[in-house]
Structure 1
């Protein structure tokens, strides 16, 4: 079952936690990729110095952050690595969730070709874990780039979220809540416990 707009239309922290276990579906060039979300980070522009929209910052690059809940925001780091975000709360409020880690479920052969230019059966155990255990890695594996900015996942057939086949409410014991990664510049926001991941999952980027 596809995730609907009311799920996204809440604060980024709540959505970030509840995205764990949801399934990302990507249909492109006749190929379907699926993966379970296992690691997320919340960003809240109004109070978060790690957010691209902190202090009401508005540029062409960050406009999707102010868009309606459930749309895609893709930004690049170092001008070459893409990061996939989902916008939350209401339109005009810059909140979103970075997807940091995904457990591959379907389309692994194509993911292996995109990440390593190899067949899945030839990958080492470490390479298999490295398919999607990081924000830029999963973008390569799922062919997500800036062309996906503004895509409405509640309507799109190319990229959306759905419930897992055996969906369940995760307990607090199954979720690790900790600080975010790679935001040393963000002063007090470095200490915000806004990263969430599934305890014991092999596709978490950093434990």
Structure 2
């Protein structure tokens, strides 16, 4: 596994704090505890760099990770976390929406969905939102190593149907434990960044 240089450049809550350069960015979106930090760590080959937690709702800012000094992964706060106030959820929603719809550096979005379950309504709404704004989307089904091998094709067909994944869109089954899906995600990243 290739190790990449990674640096947490800034944790931001609004445009005034975003980096001012022109480095291309890819955002990671998904429900709380879907595995965004684990995906970051496995992609760059650095265990424990992006902090993972068993407690949902830990990421409360947009975390700008610079990769190889060439581009950034943006870890976005998880949606659907109920143990915060309605006002805080609304503030996070506005922060996320502003970033996804107004950031010129943004080249695409990886939408992470827990592969152990069918996509929830919020997952479907997020994918539809990203399509509405014509952002390139990669759907990644996480934690699929926890699903028996003979059930993984079912994840593929159910996700494609429920999320209405078109022929020009991709769905990747991903496991940070069994380490599959990584090459496919890198392929997609390279297409968006070049």
What is the TM-score of this pair, normalised by structure 2? Answer: 0.26
Q: Write 1 or 2 for the structure with the bigger share of helix.
A: 2
Q: TM-score normalised to the size of structure 1?
A: 0.25
Relative contact order, higher structure (CA 8 A, sep 6+):
1
